[in-house]
Amino acid sequence: MAARLVRSEQGVKVWSLIGSGDSRRVEAMLKLYAELFPLYAHYLPRMRRRAEFAEEHRTGHLVHYWLAEVDDQPAAIRSFRYVHGRHVGLAHALAVDPEFREVKVSGQRLSMFLVQECLAQIMEDAALLNGGPALGMVNEVDSERLMEHYARNGIIRLPVAYSEPIFPAEARGRTRDEEVEMIHFAARRLGFLPNPQSGVTTYSGELTTNFVLAFLVDHYGLPMSHPQVQAALNSIPVSL
Protein backbone atom coordinates (compact mmCIF):
# COMPACT_ATOMS: atom_id res chain seq x y z
CA MET A 1 0.00 0.00 0.00
CA ALA A 2 1.04 3.61 -0.51
CA ALA A 3 0.93 6.54 1.87
CA ARG A 4 -1.46 9.40 1.12
CA LEU A 5 0.07 12.47 -0.51
CA VAL A 6 -1.14 15.46 1.52
CA ARG A 7 1.10 18.25 0.22
CA SER A 8 3.18 18.70 -2.93
CA GLU A 9 5.08 21.86 -3.80
CA GLN A 10 8.36 22.73 -5.53
CA GLY A 11 9.78 19.22 -5.47
CA VAL A 12 8.68 18.61 -1.87
CA LYS A 13 6.11 15.90 -1.21
CA VAL A 14 4.55 15.31 2.19
CA TRP A 15 3.11 11.86 2.87
CA SER A 16 0.64 10.88 5.59
CA LEU A 17 1.69 7.53 7.05
CA ILE A 18 -0.80 6.64 9.78
CA GLY A 19 -2.82 3.60 8.75
CA SER A 20 -1.25 3.60 5.28
CA GLY A 21 0.51 0.25 5.42
CA ASP A 22 3.38 1.91 3.54
CA SER A 23 6.13 0.09 5.43
CA ARG A 24 8.92 1.56 3.29
CA ARG A 25 8.04 5.12 4.18
CA VAL A 26 7.17 4.28 7.79
CA GLU A 27 10.62 2.76 8.23
CA ALA A 28 12.21 5.78 6.52
CA MET A 29 10.43 8.05 9.00
CA LEU A 30 11.51 5.91 11.97
CA LYS A 31 15.10 5.86 10.74
CA LEU A 32 15.18 9.67 10.59
CA TYR A 33 13.52 9.84 14.01
CA ALA A 34 16.14 7.58 15.60
CA GLU A 35 18.99 9.53 13.98
CA LEU A 36 17.69 12.98 14.83
CA PHE A 37 16.11 12.22 18.23
CA PRO A 38 18.47 9.65 19.83
CA LEU A 39 17.06 10.43 23.29
CA TYR A 40 13.71 9.03 22.14
CA ALA A 41 14.93 6.10 20.04
CA HIS A 42 13.31 3.67 22.49
CA TYR A 43 9.91 5.02 21.33
CA LEU A 44 10.30 3.36 17.93
CA PRO A 45 8.33 0.18 18.75
CA ARG A 46 5.43 2.30 20.03
CA MET A 47 5.53 4.49 16.92
CA ARG A 48 5.76 1.55 14.53
CA ARG A 49 2.71 -0.01 16.20
CA ARG A 50 0.79 3.31 16.21
CA ALA A 51 1.41 3.75 12.50
CA GLU A 52 -0.62 0.60 11.84
CA PHE A 53 -3.86 2.06 13.22
CA ALA A 54 -6.28 4.66 11.90
CA GLU A 55 -5.77 8.35 12.64
CA GLU A 56 -8.61 8.36 15.20
CA HIS A 57 -7.69 5.08 16.87
CA ARG A 58 -7.97 6.96 20.16
CA THR A 59 -11.34 8.67 20.43
CA GLY A 60 -11.11 12.44 20.10
CA HIS A 61 -7.49 12.39 18.90
CA LEU A 62 -6.58 12.68 15.22
CA VAL A 63 -2.94 11.59 14.98
CA HIS A 64 -0.62 12.34 12.05
CA TYR A 65 2.80 11.01 11.08
CA TRP A 66 4.23 12.86 8.08
CA LEU A 67 7.29 12.12 6.01
CA ALA A 68 8.56 14.89 3.74
CA GLU A 69 10.54 13.90 0.67
CA VAL A 70 12.70 16.24 -1.38
CA ASP A 71 13.14 14.96 -4.93
CA ASP A 72 11.90 11.58 -3.64
CA GLN A 73 14.52 11.40 -0.85
CA PRO A 74 13.41 11.21 2.83
CA ALA A 75 14.16 14.66 4.21
CA ALA A 76 12.02 15.49 7.25
CA ILE A 77 9.48 14.15 9.71
CA ARG A 78 6.56 15.70 11.52
CA SER A 79 4.29 14.06 14.09
CA PHE A 80 1.33 15.85 15.64
CA ARG A 81 -2.28 15.43 16.70
CA TYR A 82 -5.54 17.30 17.10
CA VAL A 83 -7.23 16.95 20.51
CA HIS A 84 -10.91 17.54 19.87
CA GLY A 85 -11.96 18.14 23.47
CA ARG A 86 -9.38 20.93 23.87
CA HIS A 87 -9.77 22.39 20.35
CA VAL A 88 -6.02 22.46 19.90
CA GLY A 89 -3.27 20.74 17.97
CA LEU A 90 -0.24 19.29 19.75
CA ALA A 91 3.06 19.23 17.88
CA HIS A 92 5.42 16.41 18.76
CA ALA A 93 8.45 15.65 16.59
CA LEU A 94 9.75 17.98 13.88
CA ALA A 95 13.15 17.27 12.39
CA VAL A 96 14.88 17.90 9.09
CA ASP A 97 17.87 15.90 7.87
CA PRO A 98 20.87 18.29 7.93
CA GLU A 99 21.34 17.71 4.21
CA PHE A 100 17.98 19.38 3.51
CA ARG A 101 17.83 22.16 6.09
CA GLU A 102 18.46 24.91 3.56
CA VAL A 103 15.69 23.72 1.22
CA LYS A 104 13.18 26.51 0.63
CA VAL A 105 9.48 26.01 -0.05
CA SER A 106 7.33 29.05 -0.86
CA GLY A 107 10.09 31.33 0.39
CA GLN A 108 10.56 29.63 3.77
CA ARG A 109 12.73 26.86 5.07
CA LEU A 110 11.37 23.35 4.92
CA SER A 111 10.96 23.23 8.72
CA MET A 112 8.71 26.31 8.84
CA PHE A 113 6.82 25.14 5.75
CA LEU A 114 5.96 21.98 7.71
CA VAL A 115 4.96 24.02 10.77
CA GLN A 116 2.50 26.05 8.70
CA GLU A 117 1.15 23.03 6.85
CA CYS A 118 0.71 21.26 10.17
CA LEU A 119 -1.46 24.16 11.40
CA ALA A 120 -3.48 23.98 8.17
CA GLN A 121 -4.07 20.28 8.79
CA ILE A 122 -5.22 20.97 12.35
CA MET A 123 -7.74 23.45 10.96
CA GLU A 124 -9.01 20.74 8.61
CA ASP A 125 -9.22 18.27 11.52
CA ALA A 126 -11.33 20.68 13.57
CA ALA A 127 -13.71 21.17 10.64
CA LEU A 128 -13.93 17.40 10.14
CA LEU A 129 -14.92 16.85 13.77
CA ASN A 130 -17.43 19.74 13.71
CA GLY A 131 -16.10 21.26 16.89
CA GLY A 132 -15.63 24.86 15.82
CA PRO A 133 -12.31 26.35 14.74
CA ALA A 134 -9.10 25.05 16.27
CA LEU A 135 -7.42 27.49 18.62
CA GLY A 136 -4.07 26.72 17.04
CA MET A 137 -1.03 24.51 17.57
CA VAL A 138 1.03 24.09 20.74
CA ASN A 139 4.65 22.98 20.47
CA GLU A 140 7.02 21.45 23.01
CA VAL A 141 10.30 23.28 22.43
CA ASP A 142 13.60 21.80 23.56
CA SER A 143 15.92 24.80 23.74
CA GLU A 144 15.92 28.53 24.27
CA ARG A 145 17.63 29.00 20.91
CA LEU A 146 14.85 27.11 19.13
CA MET A 147 12.19 29.03 21.05
CA GLU A 148 13.74 32.30 19.88
CA HIS A 149 13.73 31.00 16.30
CA TYR A 150 10.07 30.05 16.58
CA ALA A 151 9.22 33.43 18.13
CA ARG A 152 10.65 35.13 15.05
CA ASN A 153 8.21 33.06 13.02
CA GLY A 154 5.02 33.92 14.85
CA ILE A 155 5.02 31.32 17.64
CA ILE A 156 4.15 32.77 21.07
CA ARG A 157 5.98 31.60 24.18
CA LEU A 158 3.54 30.54 26.89
CA PRO A 159 4.15 31.61 30.52
CA VAL A 160 4.38 28.19 32.17
CA ALA A 161 7.06 26.07 33.85
CA TYR A 162 6.52 22.92 31.84
CA SER A 163 8.30 19.56 31.88
CA GLU A 164 7.93 16.89 29.23
CA PRO A 165 7.38 13.30 30.44
CA ILE A 166 9.85 10.90 28.83
CA PHE A 167 8.56 7.37 29.24
CA PRO A 168 10.84 4.35 29.74
CA ALA A 169 11.35 1.70 27.10
CA GLU A 170 8.51 -0.79 26.97
CA ALA A 171 8.80 -3.94 29.10
CA ARG A 172 6.46 -6.90 29.20
CA GLY A 173 4.45 -7.23 32.41
CA ARG A 174 4.95 -3.68 33.63
CA THR A 175 1.77 -1.96 34.81
CA ARG A 176 0.74 1.53 33.78
CA ASP A 177 1.29 2.82 37.31
CA GLU A 178 4.79 1.33 37.33
CA GLU A 179 5.53 2.97 33.99
CA VAL A 180 4.36 6.37 35.25
CA GLU A 181 6.62 5.97 38.29
CA MET A 182 9.60 5.49 35.94
CA ILE A 183 8.98 8.62 33.84
CA HIS A 184 11.87 11.04 33.50
CA PHE A 185 10.85 14.69 33.21
CA ALA A 186 12.78 17.21 31.12
CA ALA A 187 12.28 20.97 31.25
CA ARG A 188 10.77 22.35 28.05
CA ARG A 189 9.15 25.50 26.72
CA LEU A 190 5.67 25.65 25.25
CA GLY A 191 5.06 27.71 22.13
CA PHE A 192 1.63 28.55 20.71
CA LEU A 193 0.94 29.19 17.03
CA PRO A 194 -2.58 30.69 16.82
CA ASN A 195 -5.03 29.74 14.12
CA PRO A 196 -5.74 33.05 12.32
CA GLN A 197 -9.35 31.94 11.77
CA SER A 198 -10.01 31.48 15.49
CA GLY A 199 -9.74 35.16 16.41
CA VAL A 200 -7.18 34.28 19.10
CA THR A 201 -4.07 36.41 18.83
CA THR A 202 -2.43 35.78 22.22
CA TYR A 203 -2.88 33.61 25.30
CA SER A 204 -4.72 33.80 28.60
CA GLY A 205 -4.41 31.87 31.84
CA GLU A 206 -7.43 29.80 30.80
CA LEU A 207 -5.97 28.97 27.40
CA THR A 208 -2.56 28.13 28.84
CA THR A 209 -4.19 25.78 31.35
CA ASN A 210 -6.14 24.15 28.53
CA PHE A 211 -2.93 23.59 26.55
CA VAL A 212 -1.03 22.12 29.49
CA LEU A 213 -3.87 19.68 30.21
CA ALA A 214 -4.05 18.74 26.53
CA PHE A 215 -0.43 17.65 26.64
CA LEU A 216 0.06 16.21 30.12
CA VAL A 217 -3.36 14.68 30.81
CA ASP A 218 -4.97 14.03 27.43
CA HIS A 219 -1.88 13.05 25.44
CA TYR A 220 0.58 11.67 28.00
CA GLY A 221 -2.12 10.26 30.27
CA LEU A 222 -0.87 11.65 33.58
CA PRO A 223 -3.47 11.96 36.34
CA MET A 224 -4.55 15.48 37.30
CA SER A 225 -3.09 14.85 40.74
CA HIS A 226 0.41 14.13 39.43
CA PRO A 227 2.97 16.53 40.96
CA GLN A 228 4.29 17.61 37.54
CA VAL A 229 0.78 18.43 36.31
CA GLN A 230 0.06 20.46 39.43
CA ALA A 231 3.45 22.20 39.26
CA ALA A 232 2.81 23.30 35.69
CA LEU A 233 -0.71 24.52 36.48
CA ASN A 234 0.45 26.39 39.57
CA SER A 235 3.16 28.17 37.59
CA ILE A 236 0.65 29.85 35.26
CA PRO A 237 0.11 33.47 36.33
CA VAL A 238 -3.37 34.11 37.75
CA SER A 239 -3.86 37.28 35.71
CA LEU A 240 -2.56 37.54 32.16
Taking only the tens place, the pLDDT of each residue in 173-182 is: 999 889 999 9
Q: What is the pLDDT of residue 121?
A: 97
Tell me how many domains the chain contains.
Answer: 1
Residue 141 inside a domain? The answer is yes
Is residue 240 situated within a structural domain?
Answer: no
pLDDT digits (tens, 9 = 90+) for 132-174: 899 999 999 999 999 999 999 999 999 999 999 999 999 999 9
CA distance 77 to 37: 11
Distances 109 to 33, 103, 153, 182, 205 between C-alpha atoms, Å? 19, 6, 11, 38, 32
Domain that holds residue 215: 4-235
Residue 218 placed within a domain: yes
Is residue 90 assigned to a domain?
yes
User: What element of type H or E holds 182?
Assistant: none
CATH number for 53 = 3.40.630.30
Query: How many angstroms separate the most distant Cα atoms in the chain?
Result: 52
Q: What is the pLDDT of residues 95-126, one digit of tens each?
A: 999 999 999 998 999 999 999 999 999 999 99
